[in-house]
A and B are shown apart, each in its own frame.
Chain A
Amino acid sequence: MNVLSLFRAMPGSVAQGLIWGIMALGVYITYKILNFADLTVDGTLGTGGAVAVMLILNGWPPAVALIFAFAAGMLAGLVTGILHTVLGIPDILSGILTQIALYSINMNIMGRSNQAVSVDKYNLVVSLRYIPAAIVTTVIFLVVIIGVLYWYFGTEQGFTIRATGCNPNMSRAQGINTNFAKVLALVLSNGLVGLAGGLYAQYQGNSDVNMGRGAIVIGLAAVIIGEVLGEAIFGKRLNFIGRLAFVAIGAIIYYVVIAFVLWLGLPSEDMKLFSAIVVSIFLAVPYLKGKSKTSFKKAAKNGGN
């Protein structure tokens, strides 16, 4: 095995991780703040990519295409929000329904399952052909997004989303329209995922109808890895802005680890299996840790004769 090839893969992994970090921030909003496991994102990422690539192919500036990718994502979040709040469909199912619907919509946007956009013909915002520039650009995106999120969740409106995610009964008793707060969070979250999709499609030079498959797992991985790492390093001093930053760091670590196991020789078709196992372990650890402190087995050992 050639260590040099692993090193050469690193900048690309970092760039990819940074782009997926934007999408992971979207997942953080729903999963952590709103307490809503939103599976829409698998579809939204593809929608963001499809919208961005088709606009660029039709002569729109790549930067403007990103704004529309963001807007398309927001629209997807709005649909999930309406399915859940107005039509009373359970959260996970609402997300799955939108996600499935988006597959057809993404196909219709692109006209076929894959559309390429070449960095030679268009002045793309990011591209894997210019990785250092892509890293700088994406870091700027992340800094601005984290700053805006930090501000937003400190506002009165941001407070309503946080309260709704924590205790909906209390929120309503304090005059918060919890349904509206849920829709707001879903719209914002999916907007970010759409934006990440638009960036990712430009980065890899094409949009594929399957590019969002499993995105939620990568998003969760980033959120959880970031949280575990952030709390390990900063403990109780980890504030909100730190948590957001660590989501992005979590995404980078995820892609670095992926590059590493690919380099070790894991077949790329087993990637998703590997991701699912990693996320399962990270999700299970806090639960098992709590159980190791108090369990029936332990009680029998301590109390039984």
Chain B
Amino acid sequence: MLEIKNIYKTFNIGTINEKHALNGVSLTLNDGDFVTVIGGNGAGKSTLLNAIAGVWPVDSGSLIIDGQDITGLPEYKRATYLGRVFQDPMTGTAATMEIEENLALAARRGASRGLKWGITHNERKKYHELLKELDLGLEDRMTSKVGLLSGGQRQALTLLMATLKQPKLLLLDEHTAALDPKTAAKVLSLSDKIIAENHLTAMMVTHNMKDAIVHGNRLIMMNDGKIIFDISGEEKKNLTVEDLLMKFEEISGEEFANDKALLA
């Protein structure tokens, strides 16, 4: 499904801020894999997702989705294959556009956009049903501007937009980190539901080790721009947070430097 072959990325080359963000990451995802990604601050988790999404080109290595090499494709072309939800609820939606218009934008991901109406009558009916399933009351506010929604509502909408047109790969980049615990739990269970119902392949970056263990069928841990631990199946299910911390210290030789992950 997704094949990442030995990718490297260095930011600010030749300056005092030079940062080797990805140091030879290789990863193969199988169809239907739901991978959680954990690691300390600056480990390269978000950088890995951005590399897949094509926010910038990688320095070397290659990215292949379903046999097609996407290494040379710009971000907007890769969008055909990807659904994305971001940490900041503001990032995933267009605030000055209506809820239904945002959905209509997402429905045309990967399609050419011409002079047909931006949203059709049938679409509106379909979106009404889909929004109803979210159970946030958004189906009655379809012509409201997205800017009026709360962070949790926006993330739920972004999730719907990311999966409206079935992506080959869903990228969730700490998409619950900016929400209050109750809303975060709701958005997380919604993510689970959508991924299961649509049999999606997904990657979810999280700071929360417990979430990383409970969700998905596979877990990878990153440190210093490398994947240092990759576990799946029964073995993953039986993990504890203590196991993960020990594993981290054992492999990296340092303490897990992320208070947020430990306190969560």
Which residues from chain A sit less than 8 Å from chain B, CB to CB? 152, 154-160, 162-163, 165-167, 169-178
Contact between chains at B115 and A156 (CB < 8 Å): yes
**Shortest Cβ distance from B151 into chain A, in angstroms?**
15
Contact between chains at A156 and B108 (CB < 8 Å): yes
**B37 contacts A by Cβ under 8 Å:** no
Residues of B within 8 A of A174 (CB): 79, 105-106, 108-109, 161
Q: Nearest residue in A to B104 (C-beta to C-beta)?
A: A159
Q: Indicate with 1 or 0, residue by residue over B105-135, a CB within 8 angstroms of chain A CB atoms.
A: 1101111011111110000000000000000
**B93 contacts A by Cβ under 8 Å:** yes
Q: A174-B106, A175-B80 are in contact. Are A163 and B94 (CB under 8 A)?
A: yes
The answer, among A156, A170, A173, for a CB contact under 8 Å with B53, is A173
The answer, among A155, A157, A167, A172, for a CB contact under 8 Å with B75, is A172
Residues of B within 8 A of A172 (CB): 75-76, 79
Most chain A Cβ neighbours within 10 Å, of B76, B90, B111: B76
Residues of A within 8 A of B53 (CB): 173
Distance of A214 Cα from B123 Cα, bound (Å): 45
**B44 contacts A by Cβ under 8 Å:** no
Residues of B within 8 A of A171 (CB): 76, 94, 105
Most chain B Cβ neighbours within 10 Å, of A160, A163, A169, A174: A174
Q: Nearest residue in B to A167 (C-beta to C-beta)?
A: B94
Q: What is the predominant secondary structure among interface residues of chain A facing chain B?
A: helix
Residues of A within 8 A of B118 (CB): 154-156, 158-159
Q: Nearest residue in B to A154 (C-beta to C-beta)?
A: B118
Residues of B within 8 A of A159 (CB): 97, 101, 104-105, 113, 118-119
Contact between chains at B97 and A166 (CB < 8 Å): yes
Distance of A172 Cα from B50 Cα, bound (Å): 12
Most chain B Cβ neighbours within 10 Å, of A156, A166, A170, A172: A170
Q: A159-B101, A163-B105, A176-B76 are in contact. Are A170 and B114 (CB under 8 A)?
A: no
Q: A154-B117, A156-B116, A175-B110 are in contact. Are A170 and B76 (CB under 8 A)?
A: no
**B240 contacts A by Cβ under 8 Å:** no
Distance of A154 Cα from B118 Cα, bound (Å): 6
**B198 contacts A by Cβ under 8 Å:** no
The answer, among B75, B101, B113, B116, for a CB contact under 8 Å with A173, is B75
Residues of A within 8 A of B260 (CB): none
Distance of A280 Cα from B105 Cα, bound (Å): 35
**B40 contacts A by Cβ under 8 Å:** no
A-B contact pairs, 28 of them (CB 8 A): A154-B118, A155-B115, A155-B116, A155-B118, A156-B108, A157-B113, A158-B118, A159-B113, A159-B118, A162-B97, A162-B101, A166-B95, A166-B97, A167-B90, A169-B91, A170-B91, A170-B92, A170-B94, A173-B53, A173-B92, A174-B79, A174-B106, A174-B161, A175-B80, A175-B108, A175-B111, A176-B79, A176-B105
